[in-house]
């Protein structure tokens, strides 16, 4: 099912009006207008997406000089590449002559990037090496025509980029996650599998779905059997507290149960959200697998199964759900008004050997299965939201609290930009 959303009499004035109404009606789902308007979508890219820190890849995906991968955001493309000095760059994939893409293949290794149009040649650090016959243009300097760059922050092997060159620092906020995230030794982890799920729905619907677990009990039977997040806090507080009481001793990691919350409006810098907490699995379950039993060797410095899972957010669009034996990263990227790339990356211990220490299908089972369930429900959500007859209802005060925080930030940012 694919829905082409449109709003035939759209304008900046209408957007302003809709934003005012939405801000005044806090506590309810937002107007269908925000999922249907092409003007809103362009604003979102400009004011939110291209000003936010976004997970781009893992260092092990670009281990050698010249290794690169492309990151597609909206209609744009960014080259994540390691240069000859070992530094990782994020280069805008747009030739500085007349704008052709300089790199086509999604991954690879290059000594240089040669524009297919007129042959300008760029180094892996983005600088322009040669521009054929341009010596005829007086005053032309290759030094002025390097590929544009996005900001890069590498934290524990995770590469983040921000297309806003004036972006707020991200490494400072991320350092608040150090104790619990460091436990997994992600720097030396291995990408066991990754997959891009293209969802035919507006990116906000896809993100909103991730930000609440009200739907978990009804949409995710396998997940809900194991994870306490599907219940209200007061119903599972004993299970969670018991896990928190033993986590440091069992895992051997100080600060494993740390809670830190600075996201959206409360983020230390714009688009630099950071969050962590540890929540419990029901008794008898050790990890997020089909039967709740281990599927890979313990990660990093973790010494045992405490019956918990680490929940992390890094930037507005990137998240991790970390079990003692594997980690699952989620990233949401708009690719059009009604198209979203939901990227899921599974990490295992760097020494783990596929087929010997772990079976890829077993590691990926739960979140592949759960993601397909999400895709199903999100596209049904999109169908309803895109109807002129949809009237937004109230958010749940606990289950949908985080979703409300996202919406507050979203509406504020768009309103502030108008
Ligand atoms: S557009 Fe790239 S060399 Fe002309
Ligand atoms: Fe879900």
Full set of structural domains in the chain with CATH: 55-154 (2.102.10.10), 169-417 (3.90.380.10)
Q: Ligand 2 centroid to 67 CA: how many Å?
A: 34
For every one of its 418 residues, what pLDDT tens digit does the chain have, with 9 covering 90 and above? 444 556 678 999 999 999 999 999 999 999 999 999 999 999 999 999 999 999 999 999 999 999 999 999 999 999 999 999 999 999 999 999 999 999 999 999 999 999 999 999 999 999 999 999 999 999 999 999 999 999 999 999 999 999 999 999 999 999 999 999 999 999 999 999 999 999 999 999 999 999 999 999 999 999 999 999 999 999 999 999 999 999 999 999 999 999 999 999 999 999 999 999 999 999 999 999 999 999 999 999 999 999 999 999 999 999 999 999 999 999 999 999 999 999 999 999 999 999 999 999 999 999 999 999 999 999 999 999 988 889 999 999 999 999 999 999 999 999 999 8
Ligand nearest to the CA of 99: 1
Q: Ligand 1 centroid to 76 CA: how many Å?
A: 17
Reduced 3-state DSSP string for 292-338: CCCCCCCCCCCCCCCCEEEEEEECCCEEEEECCCCEEEEEEEEEECC
pLDDT computed for residue 30 by the predictor = 95
Q: Ligand 1 centroid to 129 CA: how many Å?
A: 13
* Residue 276 three-state SS: strand
pLDDT computed for residue 388 by the predictor = 81
Ligand nearest to the CA of 134: 1
- Closest alpha carbon to 275 in 312, 244, 310, 317: 312
Q: Residue 274 is inside which H or E element, if any?
A: strand 274-280
Ligand nearest to the CA of 230: 2
235 by Cβ neighbours in 10 Å (0-12 / 13-18 / 19+) ranks as exposed
Q: Ligand 2 centroid to 405 CA: how many Å?
A: 18
pTM for this model (two decimals)? 0.97
Q: Residue 349 is inside which H or E element, if any?
A: none
Query: What CA–CA distance (Å, rounded) separates 65 from 110?
Result: 8
Task: Render pLDDT for 348-392 as a digit per residue (tens, 0 to 9).
Answer: 999 999 999 999 999 999 999 999 999 999 999 999 998 888 999
Residue nearest to atom 4 of ligand 1 (CA): 118
Q: Ligand 2 centroid to 374 CA: how many Å?
A: 5
104-109: long-range contacts at Cβ-Cβ below 8 A with a sequence spacing of 24 or more?
105/70, 106/69, 106/70, 107/61, 107/67, 107/68, 107/69, 107/70, 108/67, 108/68, 109/64, 109/66, 109/67, 109/68
Q: Ligand 2 centroid to 203 CA: how many Å?
A: 14
Residues near ligand 1 with C-beta < 6 Å?
Answer: 95, 97-100, 115, 117-120
pLDDT computed for residue 1 by the predictor = 43
Distances (CA, A) of 79 to 90, 112, 122, 152: 5, 12, 12, 11
Ligand nearest to the CA of 147: 1
Q: Is 126 left (phi over 0), alpha (psi -120 to 50) or beta?
A: left
Q: Residue 122 in contact with residue 102, Cβ under 8 Å? A: yes
- Non-local CB neighbours of 170 within 8 Å, separated by 6+ positions: 53, 153, 155, 160, 162, 269, 272, 315
Residue nearest to atom 3 of ligand 1 (CA): 118
Mutate which of 92, 93, 118, 131 for ligand 1? The one with the most ligand atoms within 8 Å of its CB, which is 118
């Amino acid at each position: 099912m694919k829905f082409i959303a449109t709003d035939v009499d759209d304008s900046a004035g209408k957007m302003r009006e809709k934003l005012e109404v939405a801000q005044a009606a806090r506590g309810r789902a937002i107007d269908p207008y925000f999922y249907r308007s092409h003007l809103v979508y362009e604003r979102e890219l400009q004011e939110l997406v291209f000003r936010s820190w976004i997970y781009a890849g893992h260092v092990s995906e670009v281990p050698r000089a010249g290794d690169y991968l492309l990151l597609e955001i909206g209609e744009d493309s960014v080259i994540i590449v390691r240069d000859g000095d070992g530094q990782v760059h994020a280069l805008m994939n747009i030739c500085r002559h007349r704008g052709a893409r300089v790199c086509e293949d999604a991954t690879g290794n290059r000594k240089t990037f040669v524009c297919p149009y007129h042959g300008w040649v760029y180094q892996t650090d983005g600088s322009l090496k040669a521009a054929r016959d341009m010596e005829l243009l007086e005053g032309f300097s290759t030094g002025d025509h390097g590929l544009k760059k996005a900001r890069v922050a590498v934290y524990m092997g995770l590469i983040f980029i921000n297309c806003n060159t004036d972006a707020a620092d991200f490494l400072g906020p991320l350092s608040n996650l150090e104790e619990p995230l460091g436990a997994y030794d992600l720097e030396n982890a291995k990408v066991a599998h990754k997959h891009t799920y293209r969802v035919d729905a507006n990116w906000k619907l896809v993100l909103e779905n991730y930000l609440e677990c009200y739907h978990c009990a009804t949409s995710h039977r396998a997940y809900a059997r194991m994870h306490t997040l599907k219940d209200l806090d007061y119903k599972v507080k004993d299970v969670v507290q018991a896990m928190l009481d033993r986590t440091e001793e069992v895992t051997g990691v100080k600060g494993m149960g740390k809670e830190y919350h600075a996201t959206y409006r409360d983020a230390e810098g714009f688009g630099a959200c950071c969050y962590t907490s540890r929540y419990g699995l029901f008794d008898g379950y050790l990890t997020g697998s089909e039967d709740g039993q281990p599927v890979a060797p313990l990660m990093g410095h973790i010494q045992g199964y405490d019956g918990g899972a680490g929940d992390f957010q890094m930037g507005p669009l990137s998240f991790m759900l970390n079990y003692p034996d594997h980690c699952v990263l989620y990233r949401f990227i708009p690719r059009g008004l009604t198209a979203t790339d939901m990227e899921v990356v599974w990490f295992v211990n760097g020494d783990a050997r596929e087929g010997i220490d772990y079976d890829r299908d077993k590691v990926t089972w739960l979140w592949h299965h759960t993601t397909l369930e999400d895709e199903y429900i999100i596209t049904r959500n999109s169908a309803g939201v895109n109807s002129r007859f949809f009237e937004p209802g109230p958010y749940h005060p606990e289950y949908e609290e985080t979703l409300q925080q996202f919406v507050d930030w979203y509406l504020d940012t768009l309103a502030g930009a108008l």
